[in-house]
Amino acid sequence: MTITYPYALSVLADRLDIESVTWDIQRNDELSGTGDGRVWQAELAPPLWTGDVKLNIGDSNDLKQIAARVRKLHGAQELFFLYDPLSKYPQADPDGSILGASAVRINSVGTGGRTISLKGLPAGYVLTLADKLQIAYATSPVRNAFLEVSDDIVTASGGGITPSFEVFPNAPTGVAINDVVTLAKPACKVFISPGTSNPGSGAGLLTSGAGFKVIEKR
């Protein structure tokens, strides 16, 4: 078998038995301030998603296979797709059954990418604050945007089109009408943060303590 990068979800993400995860943002800002509490912030680069993943105690054979997959990423050299296990599907559709095989796409993008609108959803489909979405955009190469809903409730019309809603971070330059949007297992393209991979400690049939940290690669 020829191994290709970034790993698809089936290669690594879907095989992870996750005990806990911290899914957050690494900001890339320059800060300055004064003694009276005033602070100035300049965003030097877009914020990046991060994940701190800890795996459950499990069968030693399963976990050594996971470790082998992680090692084949050659440290931070190669990439893989990873979804937030707490956000595999929209909150109002927790198993994705309402979404089904809907072909969701970008309907419009607001100024600066602060807002987007989607089309191709089931009639009345609901997105909720903190739901995640993945957008494939651009060509040669295809790029990946991983965003979250910033509005409380977003409801699609009878024709499957949402009103414009705010997202975080802003949709990157290049995201355009008709780009494909993934709401079922929306994934972020990431690499293993150097020095954080732990294959776990084995004791006979069981291994514990495995995990790693990841950072988004834009």
User: pLDDT for 19-67, tens place per residue?
Assistant: 999 999 987 766 666 666 677 766 667 899 999 999 999 999 999 999 9
77 in the same domain as 23: yes
Structure tokens at 96: 């994705």
Kindly report the number of other CB atoms within 10 A of residue 37's CB atom.
6
93 in the same domain as 178: yes
User: pLDDT for 117-132, tens place per residue?
Assistant: 999 999 999 999 999 9
111 in the same domain as 60: no
Overall domain count for the chain: 2
Task: List beta partners, residue 29.
Answer: 43
94 in the same domain as 175: yes
Residue type, 36: D
171 in the same domain as 134: yes
44 in the same domain as 32: yes
- Please name which of 59, 74, 126 lies closest in space to residue 98, comparing C-alpha atoms: 126
CATH number at residue 129: 2.40.30
Is the model's pLDDT at 8 over the cut of 90?
Answer: yes
145 in the same domain as 81: no
CA distance 180 to 104: 6
Q: Are 145 and 175 in contact (CB under 8 A)?
A: yes
Q: How many CA atoms lie within 13 A of 206 on its CB side?
A: 6
What residue numbers bound the domain in which 157 lies? 89-184
116 in the same domain as 50: no
178 in the same domain as 98: yes
64 in the same domain as 102: no
160 in the same domain as 130: yes
pTM over 0.85: yes
Q: Are 193 and 213 in contact (CB under 8 A)?
A: yes
Q: Are 7 and 16 in contact (CB under 8 A)?
A: no
Among the residue ranges 42-46, 69-73, 180-184, the one predicted with the least confidence is 42-46
122 in the same domain as 56: no
CA distance 204 to 19: 20
CATH number at residue 54: 3.30.200.190
